[in-house]
Amino acid sequence: MGVRLAVFDCDGTLVDGQAAVCAAMDAGFVEAGLPAPDHHLVRRVVGLSLTTAISRLAPDAEPRQWDRAVAGYKQAFRNARASGHLAEPLFPGIAELIVRLRGADWLLGVATGKSDRGLANCLATHGLTAHFCTLQTADRHPSKPHPAMLEAALAEALAEPQGCVMIGDTSYDIEMARAIGVRAIGVGWGYHSAEELLAAGADCVAATPAELGDWLA
């Protein structure tokens, strides 16, 4: 059997970071002198790289305002982390799923719109860092659905597309996987609907982490 690699999205798949993302986005928009974005729309762009997400939320703003909003967003996250108020809880059953897959000889990775620092802190907070062999972030790659993150994960894990599965909660994750022939599984507990994930090309949508584990293990 060749290398089996499961690559997870982070926000909306491993952790429920929507409250933290919405609060930081509000702060970023204030910093840029922009009206606060609709939180429903914010959740729709979770998973994209930060500049891409902000440009979609404020398409009529000037590039300098996008830059100010990005800086304000990052500062808000740093402040929340430093004060101990950053809430990014694991979805129920995720910790057990990670241990189960490692026990079944899956290699694990992450491909996320988070920064390197944000992902590292998130995984360390939950004691999960050691389970992942490849971590790909928006700091080093184009935004999803461009497949660069997934291509880098495959290269680092010495895996082939046919031995890999991308697991995520948004159509961006599914489209990224399909672009390079990687199997894609959607999760039903995140920010895009099951119907959207299937329409984007997901093989299936897991209702719970336990169900996902059954399919993979």
DSSP, collapsed to helix, strand or coil, labels residue 71 as: helix
Q: How far apart are CA 78 and CA 121, in angstroms?
A: 11
Is residue 71 packed enough to be buried (19+ CB in 10 Å), middle (13-18) or exposed (0-12)? middle
> Average per-residue pLDDT in the chain?
96
* Tens digit of each residue's pLDDT (9 = 90 or more) over 166-201: 999 999 999 999 999 999 999 999 999 999 999 999
Q: Are residues 12 and 22 in the same domain?
A: no
* Tens digit of each residue's pLDDT (9 = 90 or more) over 47-67: 899 999 999 999 999 999 999
* Tens digit of each residue's pLDDT (9 = 90 or more) over 121-171: 999 999 999 999 999 999 999 999 999 999 999 999 999 999 999 999 999
Q: Are residues 9 and 64 in the same domain?
A: no
124: domain CATH number? 3.40.50.1000
> Do 135 and 126 form a contact (C-beta atoms < 8 A)?
no
- Which residue intervals of the chain are DSSP H helices? 18-31, 39-45, 50-57, 63-83, 94-103, 116-125, 148-157, 171-179, 194-200, 209-216
Residue 124's CB is within 10 A of a number of other CB atoms, namely 11
Q: Are residues 69 and 133 in the same domain?
A: no
Domain edge (last residue) among 83, 103, 136: 83
Domain enclosing residue 198, as ranges:
5-16+88-216
**pTM > 0.85: yes or no:** yes
Section 29-35 average pLDDT: 97
Q: How far apart are CA 107 and CA 102, in angstroms?
A: 7
Number of domains present in the structure of the chain: 2
Q: Are residues 101 and 147 in the same domain?
A: yes
Domain edge (last residue) among 54, 83, 112: 83
